[in-house]
Chain A
Amino acid sequence: MRNIFSKRLSVEVFLDNLLCSQGFKERAQVRPEITEQAARALDLALQFVEPAFVLDRFPVGPAGENKVKVGKIELNMGDNACLLEKAEEAVIYVTTIGGKLEKAVNELSRRGNWELGYWLDCAGVLALNAVDREVWTLVESMAEQEGYGVGMSLSPGSLKGWPVEEQRGLCSLLDTNRVGVSVNASYLLVPYKSASNLIGMGPGYNSARVLPACDYCVSEGNCWMKHAQGGA
């Protein structure tokens, strides 16, 4: 398989999730002017979001202490290398919602409309997460067809001990230009509302569902993505 890519993803970001992500647990308790701004941002977000992803699969093997060989490259994943011990293959993918939403956020900020800009930015993050989850579903169905289980979704820079500098190596395995994504001098994906991920697959994994790596995340579970899903 070589670089599956798609620009035909749907993005569903719900108002309740958006409110929840910011600490507002029940819509009935939120002041109407707050809900109105969030809803306005959501409408804008759906106009600007251009979801796309590029994905490929590679053989996986150990490459020394804390290192994993994925395809032709070695990734220095720190202690997280053990999370791929059961993997026979790794799915690498990059998701994006494009750059239009970011531009709109920046323009709103520049004009001093921080409130709407903030909500739009949050909606963008949730939209990117929604794209990720669609790709997870695709990965799960790939694994199921082959009788494999799947590991957690792992991302350099988000995972404790896997530095963001590894982004360049990981992304070199994919033709990210096809979805308009590149890695800049600070190892960040541009457009910024993009994400790179690696998911291990193999018969040794018990899980049929891809899960977020919250226990290994630099945010230590204290992130508003978790709130958005109704978590603590």
Chain B
Amino acid sequence: MADIIKEIHDAVVAYRKDAIVEKVEKAINEGIEARRILHDGFIAAMDVVGEKYSQGDMFIPEMLAAAQSMKLGLEKIKPLLQGEVAAEDSKGVVVIGTVKDDIHDIGKNLVAMMLEGAGFEVHDIGIDNPPENFVAKVKEVNARVLGMSALLTTTMPNMKEAIDVLKDEGLYDKVHVIVGGAPVSQQYADEIGAGGYAADAVAAVEAVKNLLKN
């Protein structure tokens, strides 16, 4: 790994928002490809962040700070990536949001951030979404994955409603649905016809990767 790539990697893990842009600019000026900065710098760093969080060595605010650092760097390479990225680099398009009546978006934000860090194109439609919002965005961006989050037993049924609308629109077989949130379980995911379930943000990335392998 080039020194500057390692510096970028370490700056993300250590959430050095003050230093990341400068390091990314330096890497670009050294002629390093944006896709390499993305893969060996950002994505590798967010893998480490996820691991540290899973092991209790990092807390949620630190994980968010690392993600914000990555985002700052990502903004710098985005214009370059558009010309550089090959089809195989794009891991897939994901639409994500919380369901109707659910405004608890911390878990959803973490998942969005980890997916972005893992190289997915994430479209976050925010909170309190009726089924039609999910479906419209899936159509608009041609998503391969739909992620829905609910933190409450009373809002969980709204996940099934969204899946029903996907079926009505003929999209159910074309989109992988993954669900999560405190009261949600694998059993519930199976019951409502969601192909994937994840208990936390790190598991969500693995689950989405697995879904897309199928």
Show the binding face of A for B, using Cβ within 8 Å.
22-24, 31, 33-34, 37-38, 102, 106, 109-110, 112-115, 117-119, 121, 157, 163-165, 184-188, 192
Q: How far does the alpha carbon of A38 sit from the alpha carbon of B15 in the complex, in Å?
A: 15
**Contacts of B103 on A, CB cut-off 8 Å?**
102, 106, 192
Q: How far is the CB of A24 from chain B (nearest CB, A)?
A: 7
Q: How far does the alpha carbon of A33 sit from the alpha carbon of B64 in the complex, in Å?
A: 12
Q: How far does the alpha carbon of A110 sit from the alpha carbon of B211 in the complex, in Å?
A: 27
Closest to B64 in A: A115
A109 touches B17 (CB 8 A): no
Q: A186-B155, A188-B154 are in contact. List 12 more A-B contacts (CB 8 A).
A: A33-B15, A34-B62, A37-B65, A106-B103, A109-B109, A118-B60, A118-B109, A164-B154, A184-B101, A185-B101, A186-B152, A188-B101
**Contacts of A23 on B, CB cut-off 8 Å?**
59
Closest to B59 in A: A23
Q: How far is the CB of A225 from chain B (nearest CB, A)?
A: 15
A188 touches B109 (CB 8 A): no
A164 touches B152 (CB 8 A): yes
**Contacts of A184 on B, CB cut-off 8 Å?**
101
Give chain B's interface residue range (CB within 8 Å of chain A). 20 to 34
B61 touches A34 (CB 8 A): yes
**Contacts of B153 on A, CB cut-off 8 Å?**
157, 163-164
The listed residue (A22, A33, A106, A113) touching B127 by CB distance below 8 A is: A106
Say if the beta carbon of B106 comes within 8 Å of chain A: yes
B152 touches A114 (CB 8 A): no
Closest to A164 in B: B154
Say if the beta carbon of B137 comes within 8 Å of chain A: no
Most B CB within 10 A of own CB, among A34, A118, A119: A118
**Contacts of B102 on A, CB cut-off 8 Å?**
186
A-B contact list, 11 entries, CB within 8 Å: A22-B60, A24-B59, A34-B65, A106-B126, A109-B126, A114-B68, A118-B60, A164-B152, A186-B155, A188-B154, A188-B155
A115 touches B152 (CB 8 A): no
A186 touches B67 (CB 8 A): no
Q: How far is the CB of B207 from chain A (nearest CB, A)?
A: 21
Say if the beta carbon of B91 comes within 8 Å of chain A: no
Say if the beta carbon of B71 comes within 8 Å of chain A: yes
Closest to B150 in A: A186
Considering the complex of A and B, which 10 residue pairs feature the smallest CB-CB distances, nearest first?
A186-B154, A186-B101, A23-B59, A115-B64, A114-B109, A114-B64, A187-B154, A22-B59, A186-B155, A115-B68
Q: How far does the alpha carbon of A192 sit from the alpha carbon of B103 in the complex, in Å?
A: 8
Say if the beta carbon of B113 comes within 8 Å of chain A: yes
Q: How far is the CB of A33 from chain B (nearest CB, A)?
A: 7
Interface hits, B40-81 → A, CB 8 Å: 59-62, 64-65, 67-68, 71
Q: How far does the alpha carbon of A38 sit from the alpha carbon of B62 in the complex, in Å?
A: 11
A114 touches B67 (CB 8 A): yes
Q: How far does the alpha carbon of A162 sit from the alpha carbon of B60 in the complex, in Å?
A: 30
**Contacts of B152 on A, CB cut-off 8 Å?**
157, 164, 186, 188
**Contacts of A31 on B, CB cut-off 8 Å?**
15
Q: How far is the CB of A38 from chain B (nearest CB, A)?
A: 7
Q: How far does the alpha carbon of A195 sit from the alpha carbon of B105 in the complex, in Å?
A: 19
**Contacts of A121 on B, CB cut-off 8 Å?**
106
B65 touches A33 (CB 8 A): yes
Q: How far does the alpha carbon of A22 sit from the alpha carbon of B61 in the complex, in Å?
A: 7
Closest to A23 in B: B59
Q: How far is the CB of A123 from chain B (nearest CB, A)?
A: 12
The listed residue (B15, B71, B106, B127) touching A118 by CB distance below 8 A is: B106
Closest to A185 in B: B101
Q: How far does the alpha carbon of A157 sit from the alpha carbon of B155 in the complex, in Å?
A: 13
Q: How far does the alpha carbon of A192 sit from the alpha carbon of B127 in the complex, in Å?
A: 13
Q: How far does the alpha carbon of A188 sit from the alpha carbon of B105 in the complex, in Å?
A: 16
Closest to B18 in A: A33
A165 touches B105 (CB 8 A): no
